């Protein structure tokens, strides 16, 4: 009898993986290409990155499908590959999954906006996410993670879509900016508005990722903990990105400064932790060492 991801997180803090885009670039991914196409064209590279994270101590890794909704893929001319790319993303990650660990299907935002701010209807967003969720589910992921959502309405579209086509558990993380008046999504949703609505929709695990660094994440976890008693995911960025003279993206928070705040993130109420942009397997290895003692 194998435990589910939800069983494990009831017992202890669970560790996810770190940044994927930054790892792809380190492995030769060219700027402007479609990351999800590598699940089919360069599966050995995608597999290697997942393997590096599992070796570093990740309990679960997320598939290379962040931009895999049909709408997001359309921006690179790959809308007809939505199902294939997502199914392949799940298959590739599952190939290197050790026993007792997990693969989560990543579902990032479309990059577009709903009416009246943008051109899309909720039905169009739902259709775009449903195809993605179907590919990930057929490829064999253990759960779906609707992540880095900047619009609560879009997150709810993705949630409805995922549930319509998949019986897997679906988790949701929003991304919040740290403003003088508190933490808000790009569309102005507050932490409590997001978490309460997600809880009302019976999402079993909620949280925040990206945008903020690990120091700010401590405060954000405290705010999230006040808003809900659900298990919380927290995946901070390694600070802010900047472009080096050679045209490489670097992040401002180094490993030592990043991990300094990890114990407090856990003690403040995060049940599932991991990295986001700018973090790599070295960050995860260090977190795997720290978290059991937090």
Q: Which of 21/57 has CB closer to Zn ion? A: 21
Residue 220 lies near Zn ion (rule: CB under 5 A): no
Residues written for the chain:
294
Q: Which of 37/237 has CB closer to Zn ion? A: 237
Residue 237 lies near Zn ion (rule: CB under 5 A): yes
Q: Which of 195/277 has CB closer to Zn ion? A: 277
Token pair 């599966």 is at which residue?
43
Q: Which of 172/210 has CB closer to Zn ion? A: 210
Instruction: Give the span between the Cα atoms of 209 and 217, in whole angstroms.
Output: 9
Stretch touching Zn ion by CB under 5 A, among 28-36, 46-54, 231-239, 249-257: 231-239
Q: Which of 237/268 has CB closer to Zn ion? A: 237
Question: Which of residues 8, 82, 205, 210 is near Zn ion by CB under 5 A?
Answer: 210
Could you tell me the smallest distance in angstroms from the CB atom of residue 115 to Zn ion? 27
φ/ψ of residue 181, rounded to 5: -95, 10
Could you tell me the smallest distance in angstroms from the CB atom of residue 123 to Zn ion? 29
Instruction: Give the span between the Cα atoms of 60 and 273, in whole angstroms.
Output: 10
- CA neighbours closer than 13 Å in the CB half-sphere of residue 272: 30
Instruction: Give the span between the Cα atoms of 59 and 208, in whole angstroms.
Output: 18
Cis-peptide, bond into residue 232, ω within 30° of zero: no
Structure tokens at 3: 């435990």
Residue 62 lies near Zn ion (rule: CB under 5 A): no
Residue 236 lies near Zn ion (rule: CB under 5 A): no
Q: Where are the beta strands (DSSP E) in 18-161?
A: 60-62, 102-107, 143-149
Residue 149 gets which letter from DSSP?
E
Residue 149 lies near Zn ion (rule: CB under 5 A): no
Question: Which of residues 168, 277, 287, 291 is near Zn ion by CB under 5 A?
Answer: 277
Question: Which of residues 276, 284, 287, 291 is near Zn ion by CB under 5 A?
Answer: 276
């Amino acid at each position: 009898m194998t435990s589910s991801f939800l069983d494990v997180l009831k017992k202890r803090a669970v560790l996810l993986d770190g940044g994927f885009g930054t790892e792809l670039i380190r492995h030769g991914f060219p700027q402007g290409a479609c990351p999800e196409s590598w699940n089919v064209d360069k599966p050995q590279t995608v597999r290697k990155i997942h393997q590096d994270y599992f070796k570093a101590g990740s309990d679960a890794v997320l598939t290379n499908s962040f931009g895999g909704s049909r709408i997001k893929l359309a921006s690179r001319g790959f809308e007809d590959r939505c199902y294939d790319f997502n199914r392949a993303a799940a298959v590739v990650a599952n190939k290197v999954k050790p026993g007792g660990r997990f693969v989560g299907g990543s579902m990032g935002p479309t990059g577009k906006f709903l009416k009246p701010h943008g051109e899309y209807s909720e039905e169009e967003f739902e259709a775009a996410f449903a195809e993605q969720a179907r590919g990930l589910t057929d490829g064999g992921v253990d759960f779906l993670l609707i992540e880095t959502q900047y619009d609560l309405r879009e997150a709810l579209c993705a949630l409805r879509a995922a549930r319509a086509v998949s019986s897997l558990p679906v988790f949701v993380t929003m991304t919040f900016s740290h403003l003088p008046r508190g933490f808000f999504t790009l569309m102005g949703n507050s932490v409590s508005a997001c978490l309460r609505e997600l809880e009302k929709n019976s999402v079993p695990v909620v949280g925040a990722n990206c945008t903020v660094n690990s120091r700010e994440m401590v405060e954000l976890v405290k705010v999230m903990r006040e808003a809900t008693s659900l298990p919380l995911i927290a995946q901070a960025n390694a600070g802010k990105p900047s472009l080096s003279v050679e045209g490489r993206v670097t992040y401002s928070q180094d490993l030592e400064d990043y991990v300094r705040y990890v114990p407090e993130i856990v003690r403040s109420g995060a049940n599932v932790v991991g990295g986001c942009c700018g973090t790599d397997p070295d960050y995860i290895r260090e977190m795997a060492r720290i978290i059991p003692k937090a």
